[in-house]
Amino acid sequence: MIYSVYSVHSVVQGVLMETHQLRYFLAVAQTGSFTQAARQSNVSQPSLSIQIAKLEDELGGPLFERTRKGGRLTARGATFLPRAKTILEEMESAREDAKAQSGLTLGKVSLGCMPTTGAHLLPPILTSFRKAYPKIQVHLKEESSPDLARDLEQGEVELAIMDEAGLRPGLDHQAVLTEELLLALPAKHPLAGKNTLSLRQVAEEPFILMKSGHGFRQITLDLYRKAGLEPKVVFESGGIETVQALVAAGLGISLVPQMVAKFPGVSYAGVSSPKAERTLSLAWRKKAPLSPAAEALKKTISNIGRS
């Protein structure tokens, strides 16, 4: 395997060498003998000498002064010695880090999620993940589904939990959960208390919609259009809690995911027609292999979704 030495220090800028050449060089420097260095390195002396010569050729001059008693460092060799030690130490450190990450004792993974959904889904997911992998760092990014899809495509996150509004051809995904969508009405609305309502029954009601750019907005509009209707939008908001607060104030009705249907002053009803639900999925890029940490988080999320 070939490594770039110039990344360590400008004294060897632009030079490429093999790790065993560095080890042979250090062995000769430490023992002062080509014969002892070869024995210590479990290699024949001619082979070791050839590799040292190649290294000297790449570095532009002799590293050792050959004597009958062995090899003594030249000024060039003495200058190179601490650099060679640093290179091998950094490579060994990198190797150990790679092993640790492969064994999932440490690492990083980036996860995207919708803000409101994350507040309900992430606590059990991250609690379970941290218990299993306490040293893996999870970096969270909260965005709408369309923005999460963009983040995945641009490599800003490895995994994202999103609804169907964010799914695109370049993404793979698996369902995490499917939940019902409920009509949210003011508690004093004439239809409050009904178990189910059709969209046609509330077609003339003033409607409070999520703002443009939010995936749930598109899900709502698609459901209404499936029923052959258009909501009579009177207010738009960027937060589902604000939407529900406006409903509670009697300013209109809305459609909300079941997981957030707990707002005081709001009455909730199932949608009898058409069928109203959304599916939350875990998504990732098709052509990008997941890191070991991301694979572990993906498995954790899948297990939580099945429980």
Average pLDDT for residues 104-131, to the nearest whole number? 89
CA-CA distance, 126 to 132, in Å (whole number)? 10
Domains in the chain: how many in total? 3
Cite the beta strand spans of 44-198 per DSSP E.
Answer: 64-67, 70-73, 107-113, 136-142, 159-162, 171-186, 196-197
Are residue 85 and residue 123 in the same domain, yes or no? no
pTM (whole model) above 0.85: no
Q: How confident is the model at residue 230 (pLDDT cuts 50, 70, 90)?
A: very high
CA-CA distance, 297 to 188, in Å (whole number)? 44
Are residue 209 and residue 146 in the same domain, yes or no? no
Q: What does the pLDDT read at residue 140?
A: 96
Query: Final residue of a domain: which of 82, 102, 122?
Result: 102
pLDDT beyond 70 at 199: yes
CB atoms under 10 Å from CB of 262, counted, come to 10
CA-CA distance, 136 to 134, in Å (whole number)? 6
Strand partners, 185: 267
Q: What does the pLDDT read at residue 104?
A: 65
Burial class (CB in 10 A: 0-12, 13-18, 19+), 155: exposed
Q: What does the pLDDT read at residue 195?
A: 96
Q: What does the pLDDT read at residue 5?
A: 34
Are residue 131 and residue 213 in the same domain, yes or no? no
Are residue 84 and residue 121 in the same domain, yes or no? no
> Residues 79-114: pLDDT tens digits?
999 999 988 888 877 765 665 555 566 688 999 999
pLDDT beyond 60 at 16: no
Range of the domain at 206: 177-279
pLDDT beyond 80 at 146: yes
Burial class (CB in 10 A: 0-12, 13-18, 19+), 60: exposed
pLDDT beyond 70 at 155: yes
Are residue 211 and residue 78 in the same domain, yes or no? no
